[in-house]
Structure 1
C-alpha cells in the first residue's frame, strides 16, 4: 500500500470560515486514521486579492483548531517559474492557444449561437474558436499589448490522449449527483478552460494539478463544489505525465439559513467566533469531529 498523503490548500483572500474548518478537519482526520501525512499549501496566485494578514490568520486559526502540518509550507507565489515552464511545454505541443476574447464577448457569442453549450457547474463553456487565429493576427495583437488567456484546446487534448472519456479517476467520497467509485471524466461540461493569463503564468487548475504531483499527494480531499474540476485536472495529468491521486469529495456544510459559508460572511469566520469566546473543541464538535 502506498503512503497516504493529503493536503488542505486555502487561498489567503479572507479569513477562514466554518466550511474551511470542516474541509481541513476532514483531511487532517483522514491522514491521522491512515497513519499518513497532512500538508498545508497556500494557494496565493492571485497576487492582488491575497494578503499577508490572511495568510498569517490561516496558520493561527488552524493551530487553534488543534491541527498540525509539515513544514515548510508550499506557497504557490514562489513557484511561478515552474508553472510557466509547463505552459511553455503545452504551447510547444500545440495543446493550448492564446484567446483574446473577453467574458462579455464570449457571452455575446452564446447569445448568437442557439446550439452553444451554454453554462456548466464550472461556469460558461467556451468550445473554442470556429477557426484558429492566423499567425499574423495573433502576432499583431500581441505586439499591441492586448490581454489574453492561455486556453486548453479540448480538441488537441483529445487527439493527444486518444479518447478523453476513457480517462477515469477513483472517487472515494461522493460527487454532487452521487458519483463514486471509478468515474469517467466529463469534458463536455468543461470546454476550453483557462490555464494561464498574459500577466499570471498559471490558473488554479494548472497550479493545483502540478502541486499535488510535486508534493506526492496521494489523496485529494476537498468539497463537492470542486468535483467537476477533476475533469480538467485528470486531463492535465494525462498530458503532463503526472500521477493520478485518489479523490474524496465531501459534502458542503451550510448555515442555519441553508446558504453556504463564504468569506464575505464575517460572522462565521473562525477568527470572529474565537473572539466571541468559542473554544476549538466546540467548533470541532459542531462540525462532527469528536476529539
Structure 2
C-alpha cells in the first residue's frame, strides 16, 4: 500500500510534458500568398475600395468633376423617395423585365438541356450554336438585333404580309419591352442550358429506369424524379438570371436607349445618366447603393427559398 502511494506521489510530482509547438511552414504561407495574394489585392482595389467610396459619395453633393465635396447627409436618399418619379418608373420597368426574362430564359435553357441531353448525333454542334450568343458582347448584340427588328422584320412583313413582322418593335412601349426580353433570353438561354445539362448528366439513370419499369410517364419522371434531383441547378440559374436581368445595361442602351419616351429605361441606365450625363454624382451613387441593397435582398430571399426546397426534396 505504501509502495503504491509512493508511486502515485511520484507521478503527481512530475511536470506534465508539453507538446512541441507546430512550426509555421513559411514555404506554404508564401505559396498560398503567391496564388491568393494577387487576386485578393485586385478584388480589394477594384471592388471593395470603390464600393466603400461610393457609399461615402452617396452622402455628398459632388458633381464628379470639382475638388469640392459637400457633405449633405441623407438628402440624396430623401430626394430619391420624394422627388424622383423617373427612378421609380425605371425600377418598375426593371422589375417587370426581370420576372419575364427569368421565366423565359430558364424555360428555354431547361428545354434545350432536355433536348440536347438525349442521344442526338448533332448535340455537340447544337450545344455550341446555342451557347454562342452568350459569347457576343451585349452592345454588339443590341445593335445586331436593332437591325433585325427595324430592317429585317420590316422586310419579312412586306413580302409575307404577316402582322407580327409589321409591328414597330422598338417604337412602341409594349413591343419594345418584349423586344428586350427576347434579346436577353436569346443571349442567356445557352448559358443556362450548359448548367442544366451538367445537372441532368449527374442524375442516377437507375432511378429513371426503375420509374419507367414501374409505369411512370415521361411527365412524372421529369417532375417527380429529375427536377427534384437537379434543384441546385435551378438555384444557380435563378440567381444568375435574376442578378443579370436586374443589372441589364448594355443590351438596353444599344437596343432602345431607354426609349420610346423613357418607357424602357432600366435602373442601370437611370443611374448612369444621373451620374455621368447630369453630373449629379452624389445622387447617382445614392441610387446605386439603394439599388444594390434591393438586388441583394431579392437574390438572398430567392436563394434561401430555393435552398429550402432542395432540403425538402
State TM-score, norm by structure 2: 0.22
Greater helix proportion = 2
Q: Which has the higher contact order (CA 8 A, sep 6+)?
A: 2
Q: Based on CA coordinates, which of the two structures has the bigger radius of gyration?
A: 2
Greater strand proportion = 1
